[in-house]
A and B are shown apart, each in its own frame.
Chain A
Amino acid sequence: MKLSSQWVREFADLKVDNRQLADDLTAAGIAVEAIAGEGENTVFEMEIGTNRPDAMNHYGVAREAAAIYNLLLRPIAPKLPDPGSAAAFPIEIQDATGCVRFTARVACDVRVAPSATRIAQRLALIDQRPINNAVDATNYTLWEMGKPTHAFDLDLLEGGKIIVRRAMNGEKLKTLDGVERTLTSEDLVVADAKKPVALAGVMGGFDTMITEKTRNLLIESAWWDPVTIRKTSRRHGLHTDASHRFERGADFESTLLSCNRVMELILESGGGQLQGNVIDVVARRLDQAPVALHISEVHRILGQKLDTQVIYGILHRLGFELIPERGGEFDFTVRIPSWRLDVEREIDLIEEIARLYGYDKFPNTLPAFAGSVVEQADSKKDEKLRSSLLGLGYNEAVSLTFISHEDAETFSNAPVIELANPISEEASIMRTSMLPGMLNMLSYNLNRGTNDVRLFEMGSVFQDQKTGMPRELKRISLGRTSPSPQQGETWPTQLFFDLKGDVETLLHAFEHKTLSYDSHLAEYFHPGRAARVVMDGATVAQFGQVHSEIAAKRKLRQEAYVAELSLDQLYRHGLRQIRYEALPRYPAVERDFSFLFPNEIIFAKIEQGVLSLALSELRSFKPIEIFRGGKLPAGKYSILLRATFQSRERTLREDEVADWSKQIVKALEKLGGEQRA
């Protein structure tokens, strides 16, 4: 919102320069964001809070400035001839909820023409387009004192009267912007005897507007109910300078003054005569209850013992009337000025005192506190996973929480939360999986030539529930792309096992009895290069290569591996307790076994076969090398296995190790393995 500095200065003899004025207004909460132009063309770019419609105009800002500097505020006092006669036009308020007060004046033989240069320039300076002297008079008054008014062509009002009423459902009104609007019974309208002529407080009607042909006119200055105006404004998607002010609460007492001011400006510029006296219909009084002020409460909230004289002075300058209450329960009864509908309570007065006193003048203090810091239940677990992932070389990433319908269908079958007003179709669902976001980030990197990508994201996924709040489930996603292959790899698909190792590192931080891997997988994974991880009977993660069809759809130019951990499941387990174990004092003995196995004998079976021997001193049993193809018979693979034996009590004897080795060989042969030379 732009305001002219010169226009503000018309109402108070401000001694300070524009820079200082802007700073002082800003410090009092009437924020001047920027200053443009020079001299009489200086324009303040204002940022006025929703609660201060009274300061969204020149007079209102002058009122604030006068209070800041303790100066006299020059009143707006329009001079009009006294036509002597009574009201010239009947006005009927049928809806006292929507219209509290309707003030009007009528003028005849007005010459509608361009405004005087002074008026037109002022309006242009604050980005308002001059139209004609009558319309400009209403606009000028709006920007001068913040009160929207409207001018009708009197000769186009049918039936010789004005009725304020709710519209009928389906009733039509073409508004000033040329749009024909269909009204509802909730819309408040100004109507003549036959038709609506304005959408009350929002925009006037096209058919009764002021044109060059207009000779006789009626000026409306009413006070409309903020909620009614807001609803109508939103229903019709019509936000105007008028509706902006009415829905925030205009000055009830200013209808008469503004009506006179508009008329004064019109008569000044367009000649004509006032037709009869003012018509001022008050449907009901607006109740602005006085507020009780306790000086002790001011001190309790602000923390500084401001002097009563200081408090009195500030409020008085702002237009509040303070009536001392001697011996009463409180110190002052404060009457609220009609332009301050935002002040209703004692705390509102306290803010007025604080802001005019100057926030920065209050000394900084620190409160005493007796409570203690309480940890979040999962904060240690979060931190453990996060620091492990950072250590494993994964960069922490954050992606948007929205996904598309298509991704929602591909990556989850959970019931979705859909947005009513999404940014775009692509972002219309709250994510049900972390993986679409992770895949987007992987392809973003691959498309920019970064081939070795390691990312993780901690976040929530969202699921609709039939009743109550949606579920928000904590997840971690990991993403890894294949680095260029290295020489002499032991495993055929290194990346799978890299990722599996990373996932295991994360999972092993938690207490558990069993951890197993199987192929009960979501369909977006490669069926042969992915795994589901089950910890003590519950699925805690899925990981592996993304299905080739998904990868192709997302234009992933490299193999992409992802993992998703369900923290809601994982966090049912505590973090692994640290237990000290004495170091072994006797040497370990290793034995290698080279075997040929049919492909269907997977390592889990081999391991199980050996572990079921329950050899008491067997410490570990691991695959060392795997080889497929070459000269090996079809359908078979070669594996080098290593057993490590160690006792806590003694050095092992050659013969017992030989015996265990024999048992192992036997077990492996039972599985269909052939020992190689």
Chain B
Amino acid sequence: MTYTVPKLKNYSAAALGKAAGKLVSALEQESAAVKNETVWKEFRDRWVGRKSGVLTQINELWLKAAPKEAKREVGQLVNELKKEVENTVELTLQRIRTGAAESRLTAERLDITLPGNHRPLGAEHPVIKTMNEIVSVFRNLGYSVEDGPVIETDYYNFEALNFPPNHPARDTQDTLFVANQESKPLRERLLLRTHTSPVQIRTMEKMKPPIRIVIPGKVHRNDPPDASHSPMFHQIEGLAVDTNITFGDLKGTLDHAMKALFGSSVKTSFRPSFFPFTEPSAEMLVSCFICGGSGKRGAEPCRPCKLTGWIEILGCGMVDPNVFEFVKHNGYDPQKISGFAFGMGADRIAILKYGVDDIQLFFNGDVRFLQQFA
């Protein structure tokens, strides 16, 4: 029941209107029946095809055949119908295209609740990460990073740090010694540095005051491995020397650093201690950043601070004048300059910070452990 263009016998307004009405209703019917692009192409050709499309036909059969006096009116009508037809053909295409796209999108739908594909990132080692964090706090205070050898001489590890030969303070260091050194003078004998402090001397030998340095690095002691000991661990040392450094500056600097590291609410406390290379010497405590200083976690006792609300975190002090005597030639006259030094164990801080219960976990490369720090 396809639409065919009739010849017009009557060019009255009523007859024209009726013919146009039939055409438009046929157009709408056919348009509605178009379901895909192939059918649409036939539809398009039948209505707007140049050779025998409906538009061409009404031009031929209606306009050209119209009497002169009706030409104007028929022309107008044909123009309107042309617009209508072209518009409908275009809209029909749009309609079926939208429909197709929609059904394709529906077919392509994924289960977005399935898990994502992970390309795992490597994790920073918790101790190195802790060291970097501490170093960056001091960098912001104007400290440069220095380093030095892990295998040291007795001179740098002990003598120049005011541990005289045969001094009992050497016993506290549990030193690992290099073999076959007996033929050398004591100060040249090699050992594994027991602290990062030798780098203080090495730096003061090469740089004049003022200096501000931090020294992250590995140290070794003769401690058989267990849950809280390791023969190798990491320290961060700090040294500031200038013409006007005071004990108050030592306290203020470390208090600032601890707040930067553990949060602005932590408090610090200093108590006297003994290190051969500092005088006065101190041990610094921070208010426990796990229990907030209360000694309790809910109803449970806080183990990291042993219920005291305080954690011993580092040793520090004013640089002993005897130490400056060893580098006096390079501008370190203890009468004119002063300084402070501090040292802390990075492994211990990482243990406290992350609640790790066995230091051995740091050094066996267990991916299940390391990935927790990703």
Interchain nearest-CB distance for B230 vs A (Å): 8
Indicate if the CB atoms of A360 and B123 lie closer than 8 Å.
no
In the assembled complex, B149 has its CB within 8 A of some CB on chain A: yes
Q: A303-B249, A365-B252, A441-B365 are contacts. A390–B122 as well, Cβ < 8 Å?
A: yes
Contact, CB under 8 Å: A418 / B272: no
* Cβ–Cβ < 8 Å partners of A365 in chain B: 246, 248-249, 251-252
Give the distance in Å from the alpha carbon of A404 to the alpha carbon of B149 in the complex. 21
Contacts of A472 on B, CB cut-off 8 Å?
149-151
A33 CB to closest chain B CB, in angstroms? 10
Query: What separation, in Å, do the CA atoms of A393 and B118 have in the docked complex?
Result: 11
Contact B142 A417 (CB under 8 A): no
User: Which B residues lie within 8 Å of A400 (CB)?
Assistant: 230-232, 363
Q: Which of A93-101, A110-118, A449-457, A610-618 contacts B (4 or more CB under 8 A)?
A: A449-457
B contacts with A, residue count (CB < 8 A): 83
> Which residues of chain A are near B273, meaning CB under 8 Å?
29, 49
Which residues from chain B contact A351 at a C-beta distance below 8 Å?
272, 279-281
B11 CB-CB contact with A under 8 Å: no
Taking a contact as CB atoms under 8 Å apart, the answer to whether B220 and A401 are in contact is: yes
Give chain B residues whose Cβ lies under 8 Å from the Cβ of A389. Answer: 122
| Interface presence of A462 (CB below 8 A) | yes
Contact B247 A302, beta carbon cutoff 8 Å: yes
Q: Please give the residue numbers on chain A whose beta carbons come within 8 Å of chain B beta carbons, in ascending order.
A: 26-29, 31, 49-52, 226-227, 230-231, 247-248, 300-304, 345, 347-348, 350-351, 354-355, 359-360, 362-376, 379, 389-402, 417-423, 427, 430, 438, 440-442, 444-445, 448, 450, 453-456, 459-460, 462, 469-470, 472
- Report A-chain residues with C-beta under 8 Å of the C-beta of B125: 395-398
Give Cα A572–Cα B374 distance, bound, in whole angstroms: 31
A-B pairs with beta carbons under 8 Å apart, 7 shown: A50-B172, A359-B272, A364-B256, A379-B145, A418-B178, A420-B176, A469-B149
Given contacts A390-B121, A398-B125, A402-B231, contact A367 B240 (CB under 8 A): yes
Closest residue of B by beta carbon distance from A352: B280
**What are the residues of chain B within 8 A of A364 when measuring CB–CB?**
248, 251-252, 255-256
- The answer to whether B116 has its CB under 8 Å from any CB of chain A is no
Nearest-CB distance from A111 to chain B (Å)? 39
Chain B residue numbers with a CB within 8 Å of A248 are: 168
Q: Name A345's contact: one of B119, B145, B240, B321 (CB within 8 Å).
A: B321
Decide yes or no whether B185 CB sits under 8 A from chain A. no
Rounded to whole angstroms, the CA-CA distance of A368 and B166 in the bound complex is: 39
Smallest CB–CB gap between A576 and chain B, Å? 22
B262 — which chain A residues lie within 8 A by C-beta?
Answer: none
CA distance A398 to B367 in the complex (A): 12
Q: Taking CB as reference atom, which chain B residue is nearest A472?
A: B149
In the bound complex, residues from chain B placing their C-beta under 8 Å from that of A302 are: 246-248
Q: A396-B128, A401-B150 are in contact. Are A454 and B190 (CB under 8 A)?
A: no
Instruction: Take A50-B169, A369-B142, A420-B178 as given contacts and tell me if A397 and B248 are in contact as well, using a CB distance cutoff of 8 Å.
Output: no
Q: How far is the CA of A524 from the CA of B114 in the complex (A)?
A: 44
Does B211 sit within 8 A of A, measured CB to CB?
yes
B168 near A50: Cβ-Cβ < 8 Å = yes
Judging by beta carbons under 8 Å apart, are B179 and A418 in contact? yes
Q: How far is the CB of B216 from chain A (nearest CB, A)?
A: 11
Flag whether B3 is at the interface (Cβ < 8 A).
no
Q: Provide the bound-state CA to CA distance between A40 and B353, in Å.
A: 40
Contact of A27 among B210, B255, B271, B370 (CB under 8 A): B271
- Contact partner of B366 (CB less than 8 A), chosen from A27, A360, A372, A445, is A445
A346 to chain B, nearest CB (A): 9
CA distance in complex: A674, B179 (Å): 64
Q: A300-B246, A444-B364 are in contact. Are A417 and B151 (CB under 8 A)?
A: yes
Q: How far apart sit A438 and B150, CA to CA, in the bound complex (Å)?
A: 20
Q: Is the CB of B271 within 8 A of A391?
A: no
B168 to chain A, nearest CB (A): 5
Residues of chain B from 211 to 240 with CB closer than 8 A to chain A in the complex? 211-212, 218, 220, 222-225, 230-232, 240
CB–CB B370/A374 < 8 A: no
Alpha-carbon gap, A347 to B232, bound state (A) = 34
Quick check: B231 and A423 within 8 Å, CB to CB?
Answer: yes
Nearest CB of A to B279, in Å: 5
Nearest residue, chain A, Cβ from B269: A360
Q: Is the CB of B274 within 8 A of A50?
A: yes
- Give every chain A residue within 8 A of B151 (Cβ-Cβ): 417, 430, 462, 469-470, 472
Q: Is B326 an interface residue (CB 8 A)?
A: no
- Shortest CB-to-CB span from A361 to chain B, Å, is 10
